[in-house]
Each structure stands twice: as C-alpha cells, then as structure tokens.
Structure 1
Amino acid sequence: MADSTPATDGGEAVDDEAGDDGTATPEIDLPGDAFDAVLDALDDLDPGEPLRFEGFSVARDDEGGYVLADGGRPRPMDERELHEALTERAAAVTDWYAFERVVGEFGPRRAFLRWIEDADGETVATRYAALAEGIERAWGELKITATVTDRGERRYDVRHADDADVSVDDLEAHEDPLDARDLVTFDEMGRYRPLKTAPSLAGGWVFPDLGPRDLYETVETIYPATVANWHREREGELDVTHWRETMERQSGIYGVVKTWDRGEGHEHVDWVAEACCDDSQCLKRREWEYDEDTDLDVDGGDGVFPCREPCSVVVSAARKWTRLESEQPRTYEFELTPSEKEQVEAIIDAVADGRTDEIREADTKEGANRYRARFLRAKRFDDEGNLGGVPTDPDEE
C-alpha cells in the first residue's frame, strides 16, 4: 500500500487517527446519506442488538435513544449526540457505508472491491491513509488505482498498465463501463481479438473516475467472468470442466475432436495446452486437466484469475489439429546447411512466441530476420513456392 502523511506547515500530522504504520488518515466528513443509513439499519434491529463498526458499536435502547460502546462504559445518547459521536468516527462509518450500502450484497463484486484495498486484512485507518495516496492493483493488463474522497467515497481509475504514468489528458477518457466493449475488440495493430484474456489489450484509454459498481462492470467487460471465477475459487466453489468432459459434449463440426484422445504414447492434449494456455498467450491460469484423475504434463500458468474449462479458442484449434494429426507422417530429405537448419528453428520460435515484430530489419544475425528468411526462400524454394525436397519412400508422392 502507498503511504500517506497529511501534514501542517510545521510537518505534523493534522489527523489524530493513524494507521498501523504511523501514517495519518485523511480527515473524513460524515455524509448525511451515511448517517441516515446507520439510523435505518438500527431501525431494522431489535433494541439492544448492536450495529458493529470497526472499534465500536451502536444499538437502540428501549426508550428510543441510542447506546454507543467502544470498549469502555456504554454511553446513552440521543440522535444529535449520536451524530456527533459518529462524525468523530467518520472513517469507520463511511467504510461501513461504502461496503454495506453502496456496494451491497456479498458476492464477487464486494469481494473484489475489498481485495483491492485489502479490507479484510488492514484497519480502516491504514487503508484510508493508503487510499489518500492511491492503492494500485494489477488485474491482467489493467492497472486499477483506488482513492477515497473527503466523504469516504471510493473512486477508481482504470487503464492499461502500459499507460500507468500517462496523464489523463493524454488518454481517451471514458465514463460508461459499456464503452469497454469497443476497447477490447481489436489489438494495437487493429487485429480482432477472439480471446479477451489474451495479453494483447490495446492501450491509450482511461476510465478516470469510476464508482464501485461501475468499476466492477468495467473490469468484467474487459475480462468477462474473471472476477466471478476468481471469487468462486476463493470460496472453494470453482467448478472445473476438464478436457475429456468438454470434448465429449462437442457436436457438429467440432465433433471430430472427440476422436482425438490422449491414449498411451500420445501427448496431443499436452501440445494443445502448451500452445494455447501459456502465460504468453492467455492471462488465465489453467485449472482444467485431461480429466479429474489425469493431470497434463505442462504448466498451467501464473495468472491471477483461473480458467475453469477449455475455451472456444482451444476447442477450435484442437479441431484443426485433430484433422492435421490424422495425416500419416512421411519422411522427406532436404538439403540444408547447419546454419539453415538453425535458421528454420529460429523462425519457428520467433513466430510461435510472437517476436517477429521485434526483430530489426538490419539485424541479419537473427535467424528470423526478414531478409535472411527471404534469402533462404530464394535459395531453397522451387518456382512453385515449395521447399525443395523429396520423400525418401519411393511409394510416396
């Protein structure tokens, strides 16, 4: 968390409430809506039943007044005195109001917003001090910055992590969470993004001033279902559908995938997972395996949000590879120098890792350099654009 130390001209903290690390919390006003919400909540409770805040509680008495308990002797008070007491404890009251009334129901949205500021692990004073400076969280390629107003209201700035230090004035600003649908459609080069969790989110935009509910909607629009699945996993309720079960329910043109199994000596599904589910290709962390009893032999990644089943991109790719793998292998004889063999390997690696755009045209030392690749094509391809080689089996055509 960031530190925050409001100070007077003399350098002393102006607030008498401090976080666990000694930093001072910002001064917070008590909004009328928050006080009214406390009264409404007390009306819903039986006399003597406490409404709890961090560090104290309030209850109604049988006479229509109130009782405040903060570790010392309970103090009876009327509504005016209650207002004064809660104003002195505005940080704790606005924190309660923010999550109980503004955010509302227990579920993924509330858990996510509390996670951003570590509300289940830090005190109100510590969090408000950090929020005054801005608490930053990463979610995929997003940078989320949470702040607090002088009324205890949470505000959020959402942008691409690559734009972390860019002024809001230099970015395309948005207010409506649904605007995010257009932002995630294409990558920086204008290519369609079929996988919304691919690490290819374009930048140049910002949602500079979102409330809690709009923040959740924006994040879920950019990365659909990621917060919901993250929350299910935290609650021990993530329902995982493994490869075999997913493939068994395919039909139509995708039904061919059901014929492709991991039988003894085959590593087809490992190859699929290695190709599609690496961190470089998808920000999710793969939790599905071959089946409930059989793990895959490749790593599932380190993403913060889990992948609970093979996605449509994986299924579509597997369908194509199923057809390609049905071909019988042939042995060919090619003439390549050792350097040309290494160059072919370098080209495949560069394409597979998406590094071709990083290779400078003048860097002919790099095997996947465009000019070197063109030279190899000019030397080894025939007039019909085929790699010159012949099958070693005379029965093959």
Structure 2
Amino acid sequence: MADSTPATDEGEAGDDEPAVPDIDLPGDAFDAVLDALADRDAGDPLRFEGFGVARDEDGGYVLDDVDRRTGLSERDLHAALDERAPAVTDWYAFERVVGEFGPRRAFVRWIEDADGETVATRYAALAAGVERAWGELKITATVTDRGERRYDVRHADDAGVPVDELEAHDDPLDARDLVTLDEKGRYRPLKTAPSLAGGWVFPDLGPRDLYETVETIYPATVANWHREREGNLDVNHWRETMERQSGIYGVVKTWDRGEGHEHVNWVAEACCDDSQCLKRREWGYDEDTDLDVDGGDGVFPCREPCSVVVSAARKWTRLESEQPRTYEFELTPSEKEQVEDIIDAVADGRIDEIREADAKEGANRYRTRFLRAKLFDDEGNLGGVPTEPDDE
C-alpha cells in the first residue's frame, strides 16, 4: 500500500487522520441511499462508518451522528451526506456497484484491505494507488473524486511502463487471447503456469470487470481463494481423483506403490513447485496422508490434481512399469557432474539463460555437444551401449 500523509477530512495535516482526497457525493450514490431508506421502516437506520441515517415518521430524515439531527429535508440530507462523502461512496461502491456477498466482493475488499482499515485510511491509500499481486499480475487500485474504484491490471514485469507503451484493453474477454501463448509463442496448457506473456494492460477497469479479467487470466482462482477463506474449499486428493479416471487414463489407478507413496511425491515435486505452477497445492495422497514435498506459496489454492498432472502421471505410470536394467558407462567426475547439471538446467527451464560463451556451465550448448561427440556412437548410444541389448 502506498504511503500517505496524515491529514484531516478537510485535507489539512492532522495527528491521527491520513490525507483523504476530496470526494464529491455523486447523484447515483445519493439516490441509492434514498432507495435503501425507502425499503426500511421509519427509524431503522442505514449505517455507514461513524454515523447512520434514517427516515422519521413525518417523512423527514434523521442524521445519527455525534450531534443527532432530526427533521432533515432531502436537500438537508444531501448536504449532510456530501460532507461525509467518503463513507457514503464507500458504502455505495460495495453495496451497489460490487454487489453480491461472494468471491467478487471479497476480492475487491481484499485488494484495498477494506476489512481491516478505516475509510479514511483506505481512501488516502487509494488516492496514491494500492498495489496487489495475484500470480504474475500487478493490480493497482485507485479512487476517483466521486469515490469510484478504478483498476489497472498488467503483468508484473510491466510495472512502471506507461500505458501508451503497452497494448491497452478494456474488455475482460480480451484476456482469453492474452493467456493462450507464452512470450515465445508456445501454447500454455496450464493457465496458472508462471509463463504469462506481458506487454498489455487493462488500464481502467471497474470492480466487476476487474473480477472477470482476473478470473479469465487465472480461471477459478478467486472463487477457490474465497472458498478457502470461508472454510468451504472442497479438496479432492490424489487417490480419489485417480479413482475417477477411466479410458486411457485408467492406468494411473494401477500406480499406487512405493514406501510413503513416493511416486506421488515425485509427481508433485515435478509439477506443483512454484517454478511450474502459481497455485498452492492443498491436496495430498488422501485425506489422512499428506505429501513430503512443499506445496508452494501461491495466494490461491489448488484443490485437486489438475489435468496436466493427471496426463503426466499417465505417461510416467507407463514408463515406471518398465523393468530396470543395469547399464555400465565410464564417466570422469566432471562428466558425471555435467550430466547432473544438464538435468537440473532442463528441469528448471534454465537452458535459455546459459550463454554460449559460458563454457564453465555444465549445460552449456557447446560443452554438451562436446560430451555427445565424445560419448555417443554412430547410432546415438551413450557409451556405445544400446538401450535394448542384443539377445545372446
């Protein structure tokens, strides 16, 4: 959250209150107050932060503040509420613009810490811009002089880039095309993989479009985050997920061996690390058995093994069904370490980071080509040893 300078509601510095921007009470917010009061019994107040308003029996209005005022006309009520516009527009933003008590409302309130700070503190911060991270997204929330929330959504790598230097969008559905390919033009089968391409921005979204944009970029992440906060996240663990598989994926059900379910640990370590997926894994082997590998640090939870995990596990099930054999190769200590470096670099996706001139790196392309030239025979066998030995 951006720093703010303490000030009074009139914008002058004070000891306790942050600097609050000047807010004008818009007509639609005032009309919403009148509509809400019309739906209440006389004397039943509509509560804002620090005060309330109600209708009286004579058709006037009551302001229940430090000094209680009764018999107010509609004009008097408007003037009183205009003096308290931050609180009224805050109510209007969440009750009428955002609406429903669900994931959208919870998400928007979370962005500006609306459940933990006062209106004055939040409006002061919003005036400067409140920033939140959601996966690889950077979301910046601001407030207009009418108390309206506006949101800038972009890739975190584009923080600070002027809007006119990015590809600007205003339709949340445009995000469907933005998430399809990574920056190298490769298809992204996992939308929560840390491979989102940048170069775009949604510079001026309202609360509802913000929610739709984020849910399009990272499907179901806000919904599952909200379920978790409410204690209602329905987690499907490995065993029950695999028992549902059928057809070509039914073979995964046979892969249920190993001390401590080590095979599932291998799958999770390969697929569910922060470097591969931005979700935080909440599923284990079964309801009573957790896994021995880290589940990640993402903001939003993963409630079950995804299709990428299931598909990979199917392939590994078949590969692991092969009987092991013993192969004998001769490697120098440096060559053994180089093979280890190559595997690490490929597994971590660091191959493109290794410069051609950096021959000290084990996964350097020229050094790897040298190792291949030295150890492979004309048929491509390592050490001249075929994978399938000839029958004797």
Residues 306-337 of structure 1 deviation map (CA, whole Å, 9 limit, x = unaligned): 00000000000000000000000001000111
Give how far 1:385 is off: 1.5
Work out which of the residue numbers 279, 298, 301 in structure 2 matches 1:303. 298
CA distance in 2, matches of 1:391, 1:381: 10
Instruction: Tell me the amino acid that sits aligned with residue 29 of structure 2.
Output: A
The amino acid that maps onto 1:181 is R
Indicate conservation of the 8 Å contact 1:20/1:125, yes or no.
Answer: no
The answer on whether the counterparts of 2:11 and 2:21 sit within 8 Å (CA) in structure 1 is no
1:289 maps to 284
Structure 1 stretch 255-264 or stretch 384-393: which is displaced more?
384-393
Cα shift readout 1:50-72 (whole Å, capped 9, x = no counterpart)? 10000100111111111110134
Aligned pair partner of 1:167 in 158, 162, 165: 162
Cα offset, 1:390, TM superposition: 3.9
CA contact (8 A) 1:65 1:78 kept: yes
Residue 394 and residue 153 in structure 1: after superposition, are their counterparts in 2 closer, same or farther (change >3 A)?
A: closer
Conserved? CA contact 1:188–1:202, under 8 Å: yes
Partner of 1:314: 309
Summarize the Cα distance change of 1:240–1:14 in structure 2 as closer, same or farther, 3 Å threshold. closer
> In structure 2, what is the Cα distance between the partners aligned to 1:3 and 1:265?
49
Q: Which residue of 1 aligns with 2:90?
A: 95
Amino acid at match of 2:298: G
Cα distance between partner residues in 2 of 1:255 and 1:329 = 23
Amino acid across the alignment from 2:60: G
The 3 A distance-change label for structure 1 pair 387 and 214 is same
**1:328 — aligned with what?**
323
Cα drift, residue 184 of structure 1: 0.4
Partners of 1:191 and 1:16 in 2: CA distance: 51
The whole-number CA distance in structure 2 between the counterparts of 1:140 and 1:237 is 22
Picking from 252, 265, 284, the partner of 1:257 is 252
Moved more, 316-325 or 256-265: 256-265
Cα shift at 1:222? 0.2
The one of 332, 335, 339 aligned to 1:344? 339
Residue number in structure 2 paired with 1:133:
128
Question: Secondary structure of the residue that 1:25 maps to in structure 2?
Answer: coil
TM-score by length of 2: 0.96
Deviations 1:53-92 (A, max 9, x none): 0010011111111111013434331111100000000010
In the alignment, the residues of structure 2 paired with residue 150 and residue 246 of structure 1 have an alpha-carbon distance, to the nearest angstrom, of: 51
Tell me the distance in 2 between the aligned counterparts of 1:314 and 1:98.
40
Give, in whole Å, the separation in 2 of the partners of 1:66 and 1:240.
50
Query: Are 2:60 and 2:72, in contact at CA under 8 Å, matched by a contact in 1?
Result: yes
1:3 Cα deviation after fit: 2.7
Instruction: Tell me, yes or no, if structure 1 residue 116 matches structure 2 residue 111.
Output: yes
Paired with 2:52 and 2:295, the residues of 1 have a C-alpha distance of 46
For the Cα contact (< 8 Å) 2:23–2:146, is it kept in 1?
yes
Q: Which runs of 5+ in 2 are unaligned?
A: none
Q: Is the contact between residue 139 and residue 153 of structure 2 (CA under 8 Å) also seen in structure 1? A: yes
Secondary structure of residue in 2 paired with 1:58: strand
Distance of aligned partners of 1:292 and 1:18 in 2 relative to their CA distance in 1, 3 Å threshold: farther
Q: 1 CA distance for matches of 2:388 and 2:215?
A: 55
| Consecutive unaligned residues in structure 1, runs of 5 or more | 7-11
Counterpart residue number, 2:379: 384
Q: Hey, what does 1:9 align to over in structure 2?
A: none
Q: CA RMSD in A?
A: 2.0
Match of 2:57 in 1: 62
Mapped contact 2:341–2:363 kept (Cα < 8 A): yes
How much has 1:388 moved relative to structure 2? 2.0
144, 148, 153: which one aligns with 1:153: 148
> Is 1:2 the counterpart of 2:2 in the alignment?
yes
Counterpart residue identity of residue 3, structure 2 = D
Q: 1:93 to 1:162 in 2, by over 3 A?
A: same
Identity of aligned residues (%): 88
In 2: Cα distance, 1:316 partner to 1:291 partner: 19
Indicate whether 1:200 and 2:205 are aligned: no
Checking the alignment, whether the CA contact within 8 Å between 1:287 and 1:306 is kept in structure 2 is yes
Q: Tell me how far 1:15 sits from its aligned partner.
A: 2.4
Deviation at 1:116, TM superposition (A): 0.3
Cα deviations by residue, 1:265-317 (Å, 9 ceiling, x for unpaired): 65100000000000000000000000001111111010000000000000000
Distance 1:180 1:37 in 2: 32
TM-fit CA distance, 1:17: 7.6
Q: Does 1:365 align with 2:339?
A: no
Tell me, in whole angstroms, the C-alpha distance in 2 between the residues paired with 1:51 and 1:311: 46
> What SS does the aligned partner of 2:201 have?
strand
Moved more, 12-21 or 262-271: 12-21
Query: Relative to structure 1, is the Cα distance of residues 215 and 19 closer, same or farther in structure 2, using a 3 angstrom cutoff?
Result: farther
Distance 2:93 2:240 in 1: 42
SS of alignment partner, residue 193 of structure 1: coil
Given that residues 345 and 351 in structure 2 are in contact (C-alpha distance below 8 angstroms), is that contact kept between their aligned partners in structure 1?
Answer: yes
Corresponding position: 1:280 with 2:275 = yes
